[in-house]
Amino acid sequence: MNAQTLRITGMTCTSCAALVEKALIGVSGVGSAKVYYDDGHAQLQSHLPIEAAELIAAVARAGYGAELDVKAARPLGMGGAAARRDEGPRPVSGRGGDGLRVAIIGSGGAAMAAALKATSEGARVTLIERGVLGGTCVNVGCVPSKIFIRAAHVAHMRRQSPFDDGISATPPVIDRGCLLAQQQARVTALREARYENILRDTPAIQVLHGHARFVDASHLAVDLADGGERKLTFDRCLVATGARAAIPPIEGLAGTPYWTSTEALECERIPARLLVVGASVVAVELAQAFARLGSRVTILARHGLLSAEDPAVGAALMGAFRAEGVEVLENTQACVAAHVDGEFVLTGEDDQQWRADALLVAAGRTPNTDAIGLDVAGVSVDAAGRILIDSAMRTSAANIYAAGDCTSQPQFVYVAAAAGTRAAINMLGGDAELDLSAMPAVVFTDPQVATVGRNEAQASQAGFAVETRTLALEHVPRALANFDTRGFIKVVAQAGSGRLLGVQVVAPEAGELIQTAAVAIRAGMTVHDLADQLFPYLTMVEGLKLAAQTFTKDVSQLSCCAG
């Protein structure tokens, strides 16, 4: 057999590795190919020599880069071993996944990342999904919500922009049916490309459609969607069942046709009046989007907008919302809900009432862990039903792991995917942990909210002596050029050393600059290091440099692009 190793560039996830692997296997003469996303290598075996140029061209056609690597990235022989004949679980110790039986409950970001990583190491995976493949993000979460929000942004800009004196504004006509069709078509296409097709083209992953529940710590029973039951024995199992909308205990709510985010994103009409219960990420994103598409929106906030963030964040967002006509009622709770003659009526503690044509309940999420038999498998959960895991995604049961929104991890798909990959590594004998100390987060309002690291209160609570600076966007040249100076950039640093501890940004396109701050925190940079970097002029990310410079300078006295 002839062995060759390629170095692959351009991969951003394990799905990319699967696509490169498929491209290489399609080259005539290639007997086997394994692509390892974690170290960016591909290993191939062939009966006859194959020109490297042919392999590189195949990878290029798939949209990635490749070059021959004369140094072997890892030993050959990962995979192809005969399956064990015994039915008991393998011991947890040891390295390598040849023939290991891995069961994964769920098919979202964590599940897919784990499945692809496990199969790349030779494991045999059974993936069980009770609903639609792809989980929350692609189907009813990130993808459709960002399409909906972007459409609302376009509608808003056509109605009103900072350049209306020179470019005439035109009130838009909203065809919700067409927008919904466009949204769902993109959701379907992404689900097919990133989930269904990959699973179909990965023989080492068997997909079962049905509801899984634990029989004990090494067996699952699956109630199949098309009837019957299937029993599974596993060596390792990953629980990646995600979460669903949490429903607050409002009297009468259960008997009304209220929306969660799922129904809101699939609605066929834009209501004239919309009540929103909740003030966290989903609530504020969808509230503003509906307002921009024509609804008169009222938010009932138990505390304030995004109350878990730095207080300045909520205050800035409040100002932006009220400027657009979104009514925000702080420290307000609904106690009773009714739906009469097509109208929602919510009643508060002081008998105040609010009426609307539609009601969106966006008061957080609860884990999908209540019907899968975790107790009989010895898997512990907290009071909220979230699976308890350590930094390696291990549960209280030795051979069962968990990742994503069914745990206490931050509910972002990129966190879930990273956790799923590391869980798979550890299932197969590795030692990988998930470090969330520099985790960026974005709220897709306008202006956006983007954060990373600790805010001022969190840093102080962690025992740091803290020094902070807040830069108003009126000092950022790009914001001035855009005629949009809503928001700020706040930098949190350790007093004395200047080590960067956190950044909070409220700004248009804040999500496009926060990753730079995340990399700086990960690298252990100080505000002085950040202030000394080269940033391209007239970009929003230049605001980070300016904010860092405020620790030692008055930036209002600098020229436009002063270094």
- Please give the structure tokens belonging to residue 539: 């970009």
Stretch 557-561: mean pLDDT, rounded? 77
pTM of the model: 0.83
For tokens 């062939």, name the residue: 46
User: Apex CA 255: angle with CA 249 and CA 260, to 5°?
Assistant: 65
Stretch 147-168: mean pLDDT, rounded? 97
Question: 220 - beta bridge partners?
Answer: 214, 232
Q: Which of 37, 64, 195, 258 is catalytic?
A: 64
What DSSP letter does each residue of 157-171 carry, written as one string?
A: HHH--TTTTTS---P
Q: What is the pLDDT of residues 95-143, one digit of tens each?
A: 467 789 999 999 999 999 999 999 999 999 999 999 999 999 999 999 9
Stretch 507-535: mean pLDDT, rounded? 97
Question: 347 - beta bridge partners?
Answer: 336, 353
Q: Which of 11, 237, 318, 540 is catalytic?
A: 11
58: confidence class by pLDDT, cuts 50, 70, 90: confident
Q: How far apart are CA 516 and CA 514, in angstroms?
A: 5
Tell the CATH topology of 95-244+365-436.
FAD/NAD(P)-binding domain (3.50.50)
Tell the CATH topology of 2-68.
Alpha-Beta Plaits (3.30.70)
Does 30 have pLDDT greater than 90?
no
Backbone angles phi, psi at 384, to 5 degrees: -90, 0
Indicate if 11 belongs to the active site: yes
**CATH for 441-557?**
3.30.390.30
CATH 3.50.50.60 in the chain, residue ranges: 95-244+365-436, 253-363
What DSSP letter does each residue of 12-51 carry, written as one string?
A: -SHHHHHHHHHHHHTSTTEEEEEEETTTTEEEEEESS---
Q: How far apart are CA 520 and CA 539, in angstroms?
A: 18
87: confidence class by pLDDT, cuts 50, 70, 90: very low
Give me the pLDDT at residue 31, please.
Answer: 81
Q: How far apart are CA 114 and CA 379, in angstroms?
A: 19
Q: Which of 112, 137, 393, 427 is catalytic?
A: 137
CA gyration radius for the chain?
26
29: left (phi over 0), alpha (psi -120 to 50) or beta: left
- Judged on CB neighbours under 10 Å (0-12, 13-18, 19+), 549 is buried
Indicate if 267 belongs to the active site: no
Does 79 have pLDDT greater than 90?
no
Give me the pLDDT at residue 13, please.
Answer: 63
Enumerate long-range contacts of 353-357, CB under 8 Å, 24 or more apart: 354/275, 354/298, 354/300, 355/273, 356/271, 356/273, 356/274, 356/275, 356/298, 357/271, 357/272, 357/273, 357/274
Q: How far apart are CA 88 and CA 295, in angstroms?
A: 58
Whole-angstrom CA distances from 247 to 135, 254, 261, 277, 365 are 20, 9, 12, 10, 8
DSSP 8-state assignment for residue 405: T
Cβ neighbours of residue 291 closer than 8 Å, sequence gap 6 or more: 152, 274, 297, 321, 324, 325, 326
| Most distant pair of Cα atoms in the chain: their distance | 81
Of 45, 41, 46, 43, residue with least CA distance to 64: 41
Indicate if 16 belongs to the active site: yes
Strand order in the sheet with 273-277: 327-329, 296-300, 273-277, 358-361
Whole-angstrom CA distances from 499 to 453, 467, 541 are 12, 10, 19
Beta-carbon neighbour count of residue 133 at 10 Å? 22
SS (H, E, C) 274-325: EEEECCCHHHHHHHHHHHHCCCEEEEECCCCCCCCCCHHHHHHHHHHHHHCC
Question: 212 - beta bridge partners?
Answer: 222
Q: Give percent of the chain with pLDDT exceeding 90.
A: 80
Beta-carbon neighbour count of residue 254 at 10 Å? 10
Stretch 299-322: mean pLDDT, rounded? 97
Q: Pairing mode, if any, of strands 296-300 and 365-367?
A: unpaired
Beta-carbon neighbour count of residue 203 at 10 Å? 8
Does 424 have pLDDT greater than 80?
yes
Does 281 have pLDDT greater than 90?
yes
- Please give the structure tokens belonging to residue 106: 């769920």
Give me the pLDDT at residue 88, please.
Answer: 52
How many residues comprise the chain? 563
CATH 3.30.390.30 in the chain, residue ranges: 441-557
Indicate if 13 belongs to the active site: yes
Output 68 or 322, whichever has higher pLDDT: 322
Question: 450 - beta bridge partners?
Answer: 442, 505
Of 196, 200, 230, residue with least CA distance to 215: 230
CATH architecture of the domain with range 253-363: 3-Layer(bba) Sandwich (3.50)
Supply the mean pLDDT for the chain: 92
Indicate if 335 belongs to the active site: no
Stretch 363-377: mean pLDDT, rounded? 97
CATH 3.30.70.100 in the chain, residue ranges: 2-68
77: confidence class by pLDDT, cuts 50, 70, 90: very low
For tokens 């899968």, name the residue: 372
Does 74 have pLDDT greater than 70?
no
Q: Which of 1, 36, 112, 142 is catalytic?
A: 142
Q: How far apart are CA 403 and CA 420, in angstroms?
A: 6
SS3 71: coil
Q: Which of 16, 78, 439, 525 is catalytic?
A: 16
Find the helix packing angle between 109-120 and 14-25, rounded to 10°: 40
70: confidence class by pLDDT, cuts 50, 70, 90: low
Give me the pLDDT at residue 92, please.
Answer: 43
Indicate if 406 belongs to the active site: no
Least confident of 92-106, 136-150, 308-322, 549-563: 92-106
319: confidence class by pLDDT, cuts 50, 70, 90: very high
Q: How far apart are CA 139 and CA 261, in angstroms?
A: 12
- Please give the structure tokens belonging to residue 184: 């769902």
